[in-house]
Every structure is written in structure tokens, then in C-alpha cells.
Amino acid sequence: MAYSWYAAEDKRFVQLLDLQFSDFDKFRSEYSPGAGDHLQASGAAGGVVSTAQVTAVKGMWRPKYVVMNFWASSDEYRAAYDSGLFAFLSPFKKLFVEYCVNTFYLKLQ
């Protein structure tokens, strides 16, 4: 099931993940609950989350499962990822997922 949230206007630093799971159920049950709670507590706004039903319209990128998180700044993003909780969760992430991450800032024009 796909779902989406809209980011707050003040969240312009974006983390884009393309995830490929070796065990999606285990990832969802053991990693996702703690990660989501931490992201919210750290100031992130949830973004677009999509299941394997991603349809590439143009280009060569063929994502499997896309997650976008929105932050107010790169400092806020870095603080969350350097925190103790994410250090604790990192081994879970590496066991269950192959992933590609990109971060960027969206400047309003």
C-alpha cells in the first residue's frame, strides 16, 4: 500500500532513499518503527513513501521503494543521523537493505 505526506513549508533539505529489501517484512517490523519515531522526534517531516509499485516514467532510474524525508536544514539532518538511536539502528539497516541515498536542498524561487 502506498501513502504520502506533505512536507511542511519550512522543510527544504531533502533526503531521498531508494531501498531494495532482502527481507521487507523483517525490515518493516524491526527497523521501521524505531526509525520513524526518531525521524519525527528529530524534526523531520515524512515525505513520499512508495511500495514496489513505483513506475518509472522517464529516465534510466528504476527505484524499488522510495522514501523522501524533509528537514529544515542540513544541520538538523546531520544531528539526527549522528544521534545514538540511529547508531543503534544502523546494523539493522545494513542487514536488511541495499540502498542509495541522495541529499539536496530545495531553494524556493
All structural domains of the chain, each given as residue ranges with its CATH number in brackets, are 3-105 (3.30.70.100)
pLDDT at 1: 38
Paired with 17 in beta bridges are 67, 101
Instruction: Look up the pTM and report it.
Output: 0.73
User: What does the pLDDT read at residue 4?
Assistant: 46
For the chain, 109 residues long, give each residue's pLDDT as a single digit of tens.
344 455 566 778 888 888 888 888 888 888 777 777 777 788 888 665 666 677 778 888 888 888 888 888 889 888 887 877 667 677 777 767 778 888 888 876 6
Angle at 75 between CA 73 and CA 77, to 5 degrees: 75
Q: Which helix (H) or strand (E) holds 97?
A: strand 97-105
